[in-house]
């Protein structure tokens, strides 16, 4: 068995124009002060990271790692959630997602997609230079507007969407293989890969590509009423990244999973700071330890009630207290009487 690394923090929700959240040096110092040992980096945020330079310059990457190390912080992974989203965008979401892209490609879906593919490939190249083995991303979505089967979906519609999704991602996955980096898709509502079934549909179409893997986040499963503990056992060989995020689901006679278009604070299902929701993290960390997950436990703070800085500090302690330092010996070793083949055969009565 292996011990999970952590705690780490995803910086996307914390990067800002105000100190200490506006530079790589100050945000890593702040993260260390909160009790973190690692950070996951949003590759699109130029306040913290220069993706174009990192993809080309080993010196830049060495300096980037070194500056964090001065504060006792490791870089756990890069994230391409926003760029990955733009690899596949249904026209219904063109305007909603256009702001994720560089200004020069906005309003031009074909150029935006090409830019997004290039961005994810650059993040893979940068990850290799940073010595990282996993990259976080979203899959994007072509079929999501049709997630509910009304009106009746035409035969072949979903299959066509997944064929195209695989076609777009296959060259990126091959680039991932060339760089020795896994692409870990966060299984997430709004993405075509939003549960185990859809992940398998995609995985089959990319020929079970070794670099096609999962980012496990139980909050998105709880809000879908999916068995998030069983999911760990089913996909243990594909789960390479872990977001530690809490959630709660409190349906009423007025709303359930879809939550009636309400804002987060009024939804039946909502994200919470660690320890304030309903996710069974004792069960999750036990499963992860039993399944030899040795990646990072990365806090993703999202809460509609609590201040983010409080959530971050509490989250570091929460993860630290849940990480299981796995045992190197059995609890009943004291009663080991020793054994050999002859003794085993004698105990079974085979030589009488």
The model's pTM: 0.95
Ramachandran sector of residue 330 (left: φ over 0; alpha: ψ -120 to 50; beta: rest): beta
Q: pLDDT, tens digit, for every residue of 79-111?
A: 999 999 999 999 999 999 999 999 999 999 999
Residue 214, strand partner residues: 185, 239
User: 3-state DSSP call for residue 248?
Assistant: strand
d(CA 128, CA 126): 5
pLDDT digits (tens, 9 = 90+) for 267-294: 999 999 999 999 999 999 999 999 999 9
pLDDT of residue 331: 65
Closest CA to 117 of 59, 169, 53, 193: 169
Contacts of 194 (CB under 8 A, 6+ apart): 144, 147, 187, 188, 220, 224
Residue 346, pLDDT score: 81
Please tell me the total number of residues recorded for the chain in this structure.
352
Q: What pLDDT score was predicted for residue 351?
A: 82
pLDDT of residue 332: 63
Please report the pLDDT score of residue 7 as a whole number: 98
Two tokens, residue 279: 């996710």
Separation between Cα atoms, residue 213 and residue 234, nearest integer Å: 13
Kindly list the structural domains of the chain, giving each domain's residue range(s) and its CATH number in brackets, ordered by start: 5-347 (3.20.20.150)
The predicted structure's pLDDT at residue 342 = 85
Report, as ranges of residue numbers, the positions in the chain whose pLDDT lies below 70.
330-335, 337
Q: What is the pLDDT of residue 31?
A: 98
């Amino acid at each position: 068995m292996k011990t999970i690394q952590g705690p780490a923090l995803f910086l996307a929700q914390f990067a800002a124009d105000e100190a200490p959240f506006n530079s790589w040096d100050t945000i890593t110092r702040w993260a260390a002060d909160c009790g973190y040992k690692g950070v996951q980096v949003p590759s699109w945020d130029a306040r913290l990271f220069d993706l174009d330079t990192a993809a080309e310059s080993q010196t830049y990457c060495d300096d980037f790692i070194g500056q964090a190390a001065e504060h006792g912080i490791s870089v756990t992974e890069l994230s391409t959630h926003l760029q990955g989203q733009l690899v596949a965008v249904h026209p219904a979401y063109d305007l909603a997602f256009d702001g994720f892209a560089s200004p020069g490609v906005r309003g031009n879906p074909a150029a935006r997609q090409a830019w997004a593919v290039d961005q994810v490939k650059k993040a893979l190249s940068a990850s290799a230079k940073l010595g990282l083995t996993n990259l976080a991303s979203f899959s994007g979505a072509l079929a999501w507007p049709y997630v509910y089967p009304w009106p009746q979906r035409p035969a072949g519609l979903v299959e066509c969407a997944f064929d195209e999704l695989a076609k777009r991602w296959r060259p990126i996955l091959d680039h991932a293989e060339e760089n020795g980096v896994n692409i870990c898709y966060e299984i997430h509502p709004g993405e075509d890969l939003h549960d185990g079934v859809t992940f398998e549909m995609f995985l089959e179409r990319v020929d079970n590509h070794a670099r096609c893997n999962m980012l496990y986040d139980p909050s998105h499963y709880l809000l879908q009423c999916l068995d998030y503990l069983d999911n760990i056992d089913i996909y243990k060989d594909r789960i390479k990244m872990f977001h530690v995020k809490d959630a709660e689901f409190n349906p009423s006679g007025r709303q359930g999973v879809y939550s009636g278009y309400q804002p987060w604070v009024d939804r039946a299902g909502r994200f919470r700071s660690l320890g304030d929701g309903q996710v069974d993290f004792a069960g999750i960390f036990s499963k992860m330890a039993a399944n030899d997950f040795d990646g990072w436990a990365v806090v993703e703070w999202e809460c509609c009630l609590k201040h983010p800085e409080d959530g971050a500090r509490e989250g570091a302690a929460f993860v630290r207290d849940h990480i299981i330092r796995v045992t190197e010996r059995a609890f009943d070793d004291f009663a080991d009487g020793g054994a050999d083949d002859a003794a085993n055969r004698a105990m079974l009565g085979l030589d009488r």
